[in-house]
Amino acid sequence: MVSAKVHQLLNQQINKEFYSAYLYLDFSNYFKARGLDGFANWYLIQAQEERDHAMLFYTYLQNENMPVTLDAIAKPDKVLNSDMTVLQAGLEHEQYVTQLINDIYTAAYEVKDFRTMQFLDWFVKEQGEEETNANDLISKMELFGSDPKGLYMLNQELGARVYSAPSLVL
């Protein structure tokens, strides 16, 4: 059975994941306005992933017969004044989400909620991948971003990304 504290954290995570989707839509808007459609595509797909993550938490709670409370989603508040600022904000946000997942995992561990821990295992792995992707993007921008041809090639690479739904089975 899911404890009250774990239930609350899981429910809050739904809202945090939807906020992440909003944030990445904001990043996509920034790059679209700059004419960097590949970067815009990359963050649009990030937004889709975050929405799906929210729905995984939602479904998990429903499957556990726990009520879901949907809260208001805050407007993204990051100041986006350069391409690198956006990429760094993305990494910082992924690190924040990793901490949120770790906090839920810790709370589940403390009450020996093994089912929730097993559910969260996928998110722990996913967050490692998300942080790696964000770091790689920053590294590529540092290497190629100041050169217009390099930026063009990076933009083309990011434009080729396609969406694939999470493979977590509940």
Q: CA nearest 104: which of 32, 20, 2?
A: 2
The whole-number pLDDT of residue 165 equals 79
What whole-number distance in Å separates Cα of residue 86 and Cα of residue 105?
29
The whole-number pLDDT of residue 168 equals 64
Query: Left (φ > 0), alpha (ψ -120 to 50) or beta: where does 112 sit?
Result: left
Domains in the chain: ranges and CATH:
4-159 (1.20.1260.10)
Query: What does pLDDT average to in each consecutive run of 10 residues of the chain (170 residues)?
Result: 94 98 98 97 97 97 96 94 97 98 98 97 96 97 92 94 77
Torsion of CA 55, 57, 58, 59, to 10 degrees: 90
The whole-number pLDDT of residue 1 equals 77
The whole-number pLDDT of residue 170 equals 60
CB count within 10 Å of CB 107 equals: 19
Tokens representing 139 are: 């590294």
Q: pTM of the full predicted structure?
A: 0.94
The whole-number pLDDT of residue 145 equals 85
Helix, strand, coil percent values for the chain (each to nearest 5): 75, 0, 25
